[in-house]
Structure 1
Amino acid sequence: MASAPLTVNVVAADHEVWSGEASMVVARTVEGEIGILPGHEPMLAILAKGEVRLTLADGRKLTADAEDGFLSVEKDVVMIVAGTASLVS
């Protein structure tokens, strides 16, 4: 049985960057890189400057650059709030 996808919100200080469903999120924190899958324990981490890599629910990949913020995980909801963030083409 497949697990439910993560609900992911990536926001910058002044705008929403991306919102949707993903099967995996990989982000750089001040303590190192972290991978988040459905069912991950609740957590709060400080973002380091770097990429946030998303594997979308349909298998496509999406990358955003982010810095100066935090990442939270609770009940399969991942919230990334950054001072600056933008999608990479």
Structure 2
Amino acid sequence: MAVLSVSVVSASHEVWTGEAKQVVARTVEGQIGILAGHEPLLAILASGEVRITLENGEKIVAQADGGFLSVEHNSVSIVAGAASLVG
């Protein structure tokens, strides 16, 4: 099964990076779910949670304060003005 390479960064530091099977985030146009094989995408993030599901089912949650989300070749990059892990 193909996986996603995910990177969540803020303006000042890397928040989380690793492999996942799913990413769910809120854009200014609504919530979006990303799985392996997703079409290339560039979206503006709304403030809110970014939920990352790892291959083993574990969930990582980050709070992002706006920014953008980019998807290309099973790679998801989330760049936020401010972001931090929740929990």
> For this structure pair, what is the TM-score category when the shorter chain's length is used for normalisation?
over 0.9
1:38 corresponds to 2:36: yes
4+ residue runs over 6 A deviation: none
After TM superposition, the score normalised by the length of structure 2 is 0.98
Greater strand proportion: 1
Give 1:10's aligned residue.
8
Aligned Cα root-mean-square deviation (Å): 0.6
Aligned with residue 64 of structure 1, among 30, 47, 62: 62
Question: Can you give the 5+ residue segments of structure 1 that lack an aligned partner in the other structure?
Answer: none
Alignment length, in residue pairs? 87
Give 1:25's aligned residue.
23
What's the CA shift for 1:68? 2.1
Question: How far, CA to CA, are the matches of 1:21 and 1:57 in structure 2?
Answer: 8
Question: How far, CA to CA, are the matches of 1:22 and 1:57 in structure 2?
Answer: 6
Question: How far, CA to CA, are the matches of 2:50 and 2:76 in structure 1?
Answer: 12
1:49 corresponds to 2:18: no
What's the CA shift for 1:63? 0.4
Question: Can you give the 5+ residue segments of structure 2 that lack an aligned partner in the other structure?
Answer: none
